[in-house]
Amino acid sequence: MKAVIAENISKQYDGKPAVEKVSFEVNEGEIFGLIGPDGAGKTSIFRILTTLLLPDGGSAQVHHWDVVKDWRAIRNAVGYMPGKFSLYQDLTVEENLHFFATVFNTTIQENYHLIEDIYVQLEPFKNRRAGKLSGGMKQKLALCCALIHKPKVLFLDEPTTGVDPVSRREFWEMLKKLKQQNISIVVSTPYMDEASMCDRIALIQSGSILSIDTPQDLVKNYGNQLFRVKANDRYRLLEVLKSVPSTKSYAFGEYAHVSVEKDHQMDASEIAQHLQQNGLTEVEVGEAEVTIEDCFINLLH
Ligand SMILES: Nc1ncnc2c1ncn2[C@@H]1O[C@H](COP(=O)(O)OP(=O)(O)OP(=O)(O)O)[C@@H](O)[C@H]1O
């Protein structure tokens, strides 16, 4: 059985499309990532799949239940961690967890094994109000609350946004452990580096899916040549690179990346020469390692 099947789901707000014929499937026990920038439509897709928003078109099933007809069964069987902090700020850590367990007619003890690894980190603060926790701790508590009823599918909307890098890494380690418990996970993130932690990812932009693949195959099938380029004047470098035919260039950390179309193979020295002829100095051109971000940019029109 598939954890999620979405077929051509669409959503408009005030006549403007936010999700356009989005289709994907999530296998059982898989970590599936929706990767895309702000406004790409990730939250709308999550809200449709968790039955909080009706789609305007298409259909979707979660664990074989229909998101429109079987909303009650879905709500009981999934865990949803919305992007914005979802907990009761004035309740303590322990009270929040107890509250969510009670709503789902269970107890903290019943599924403690699922949250144990995370909860031990929160335990020293169990009497602290949730509103007074750090960003990383809040996310850990929200994850515990979304897990306490042992959901079949866990939906996490940008769980690591605004969380420090160490906590982000810890958070992903926790997701990997949950996967071993056969919980299917759909997670969204605007951070391209997190994409590689997923089993498969859908790259999404302006409400449409650009590609669905494993992170490894996405990178492997990049196809274009990719160079990383540096020079004395970064702004002018990007300006001059625009005039190199059959390429797409963009800022990438301290470098610019230059993607050369498949049928127009080019040497690093040709790019270097072009830059020098246009007055740039300290020119450095080398092959770049392809990242998910490069794949994403390459797929944009
Ligand atoms: N209730 C709403 N009314 C009007 N427009 C909306 C509403 N909710 C979302 N939108 C618009 O729909 C588009 C998709 O938004 P959505 O929140 O689904 O994307 P997202 O990828 O989750 O981005 P973000 O991280 O910014 O929430 C955006 O252009 C957004 O402005």
Cβ(9) to ligand 1 under 6 A?
no
Tell me, what CATH number does 278's domain have? 3.30.70.100
Look at residue 192 in the predicted model and tell me its pLDDT: 85
Cβ(244) to ligand 1 under 6 A?
no
Look at residue 164 in the predicted model and tell me its pLDDT: 84
* CB of 8 closer than 8 Å to CB of 58: yes
Cβ(10) to ligand 1 under 6 A?
no
The answer to whether residues 89 and 100 belong to one domain is: yes
The answer to whether residues 205 and 81 belong to one domain is: yes
Look at residue 165 in the predicted model and tell me its pLDDT: 85
Cβ(84) to ligand 1 under 6 A?
no
Cβ(42) to ligand 1 under 6 A?
yes
Q: How far apart are CA 215 and CA 291, in angstroms?
A: 9
Q: Which residue has the tokens 């967890």?
A: 97
Instruction: Using 50 as the pLDDT threshold, list the residues of the chain that sit under it.
Output: none
Q: How far apart are CA 222 and CA 233, in angstroms?
A: 29
* CB of 226 closer than 8 Å to CB of 258: yes
DSSP one-letter string for 215-242: HHHHHHT--SEEEEEE-S-HHHHHHHHT
The closest-lying atom of ligand 1 relative to the alpha carbon of residue 19 is 14
- DSSP bridge pairs for 79: 154
The answer to whether residues 159 and 44 belong to one domain is: yes
* CB of 152 closer than 8 Å to CB of 3: yes
Q: How far apart are CA 280 and CA 274, in angstroms?
A: 9
The answer to whether residues 202 and 247 belong to one domain is: no
Look at residue 81 in the predicted model and tell me its pLDDT: 92
Which of 219, 251, 284 is the last residue in one of the domains? Answer: 219
Instruction: Report pLDDT digits (tens) over 23-60.
Output: 999 999 999 999 998 899 999 999 999 999 999 999 99
The answer to whether residues 243 and 135 belong to one domain is: no
Q: How far apart are CA 159 and CA 10, in angstroms?
A: 24
The answer to whether residues 214 and 229 belong to one domain is: no
Look at residue 301 in the predicted model and tell me its pLDDT: 65
Instruction: Report pLDDT digits (tens) over 146-171.
Output: 999 999 999 999 998 878 888 888 88
Range of the domain at 271: 222-299
The answer to whether residues 164 and 234 belong to one domain is: no
Tell me, what CATH number does 160's domain have? 3.40.50.300
Query: What ipTM, to 2 d.p.?
Result: 0.94
The answer to whether residues 208 and 236 belong to one domain is: no
From atom 18 of ligand 1, which residue's Cα is the shortest distance away? Answer: 41
The answer to whether residues 235 and 182 belong to one domain is: no
Look at residue 161 in the predicted model and tell me its pLDDT: 85
68 phi/psi in degrees, rounded to 5: -95, -50
Which of 170, 198, 219 is the last residue in one of the domains? Answer: 219
Q: Give, as one character, the DSSP assignment of residue 91.
A: S
Residue 53 in 3-state DSSP?
coil
Whole-prediction pTM value?
Answer: 0.90
The answer to whether residues 80 and 149 belong to one domain is: yes
Which of 219, 242, 271 is the last residue in one of the domains? Answer: 219
The answer to whether residues 62 and 211 belong to one domain is: yes
The answer to whether residues 206 and 255 belong to one domain is: no
Number of structural domains, the chain? 2
The best mutation among 10, 14, 42 to test binding of ligand 1, ranked by most ligand atoms within 8 Å of the C-beta, falls on 42
